[in-house]
Homo-oligomer: A and B are copies of this chain.
Amino acid sequence: MIFEIIARDPGCEARCGRLETAHGTVDTPVFMPVGTQGSVKGISPDELEALGAHMILGNTYHLHMRPGAERVARLGGLHTFMHWPRSLLTDSGGFQVFSLAKINKIEEEGVAFQSHIDGSRHLLSPETAVKIQMRLGSDIAMVFDECNSYPVSYQYASESMQRTVRWARRSKAAHDQAKQALFGIIQGSVFLDLRKSCLEQLEAIGFDGYALGSLSVGESKEEMLEVLETITPMMPGQNPRYLMGVGTPEDLVEGVRLGVDMFDCVMPTRNARNGMLFTSQGSIQIKNSTYADDGGPIEEGCPCYTCRRFSRAYLRHLFMARELLAYRLNTLHNLHYYLKLMADMRQAIAEGRFEAWRQVFYAARGKE
């Protein structure tokens, strides 16, 4: 993997880069749609390509539970299995083990848990998490980490962070695939000294990129911003910086301003399936009865597949009638919105006018 910075905004930390993986070039800052179980919910790989997605995320926990990494490997790896020719990042399974599975024990060795699907017993450790990701054949793998919920005591966050560092070291030792990059994950909850210490220790081990984990897990926007403002500038500038599981359009704009290069979040896809659609003026609920006779598109002038063809009235009808097409058309619009937002930010950075662009972005939403 090669990462190159190609532009920096003069007014803030924002930067544009180019990430070369075994499956092509990814322009950064990048938003990665989430393909939890080997499919970005509601749309096809062709549609993802047409939307301009350069990299998507696959969930190691889900794919390990079903259909299994061995099976995916036998079928040619995750790219082939799901027919996705571009770049893929896999998480380590840490987040899902801590949020979905029934945890039996967290030990130095790893986490013993029961599958949320069938209750079967498994152990996920740094070694197994890395092995699974190598089998899946993603372009970027993540170290196995412990995700903290919010709030968590300083004491627990500190012990957990130290374990995450030890697990990161073991993850790197277990990793043996030249074509696959490996990123470290900075933990430490909202405690800045723990985050700093974690980052320093991870840098000493040395990774291809660095990620911030356990943010947007219940803490206030102020707390999240404080971590971002303090830690992001300390993250090595020559490596990609990845803010995991974040977030709203505003979160992306603030992350980019502070120098983040990569994001992933289920928000555009999940909200689409719940009928919440993004526009430059904010979001709308398509089920609202005001749209029942509205012949206009979700957003006037939006060039997405959905807006070029279908009215709000039709989309509302599909959603009320629970038609499958509703979820797809809503998802296409929301992902277009997110990916266009990233493209707009990249262009603004390249032209050295990110701060001015950011003011227009907030003004359209009625915010300063």
Residues of A within 8 A of B (CB): 37-39, 41-45, 66-67, 71, 74-76, 81-83, 292-293, 295, 309-311, 313-314, 316-318, 320-321, 323-325, 327-329
Contacts and interface: CB of A to CB of B under 8 A. Distances in A.
Contacts of A320: 66-67
B67 A313 contact: yes
Contact of A311 (B39, B75, B324): B75
Given A44-B325, A324-B327, A314 B71 contact: no
A107 B316 CA distance: 35
Contact of A313 (B37, B81, B310, B328): B81
Contact of A314 (B81, B313, B316): B81
Given A75-B313, A313-B75, A314-B81, A67 B292 contact: yes
Contacts of A313: 67, 71, 75, 81
B292 A71 contact: yes
Given A66-B320, A313-B81, A314-B75, A325 B295 contact: no
Contacts of A318: 37-39
A37 B323 CA distance: 8
Contacts of A44: 325, 328-329
B325 A66 contact: no
Say how many copies of this protein the assembly contains: 2
A39 to B, nearest CB: 5
A301 B7 CA distance: 48
Q: Which 7 A-B pairs have the closest CB atoms?
A: A67-B317, A37-B321, A39-B323, A42-B324, A39-B325, A83-B309, A75-B313
5 contacts: A37-B323, A39-B318, A39-B323, A67-B317, A75-B295
A155 B322 CA distance: 41
A148 B320 CA distance: 31
Contact of A74 (B293, B310, B327): B293
A122 B109 CA distance: 67
Nearest to A65: B321
Contacts of A74: 293
Given A66-B320, A324-B41, A310 B83 contact: yes
Nearest to A327: B324
Nearest to A317: B67
Given A45-B309, A75-B293, A75-B295, 12 more contacts: A38-B314, A38-B321, A39-B323, A41-B325, A42-B325, A43-B325, A67-B313, A74-B293, A75-B313, A76-B295, A81-B311, A81-B314
A79 to B, nearest CB: 12
Nearest to A63: B317
A51 B42 CA distance: 20
A325 to B, nearest CB: 5
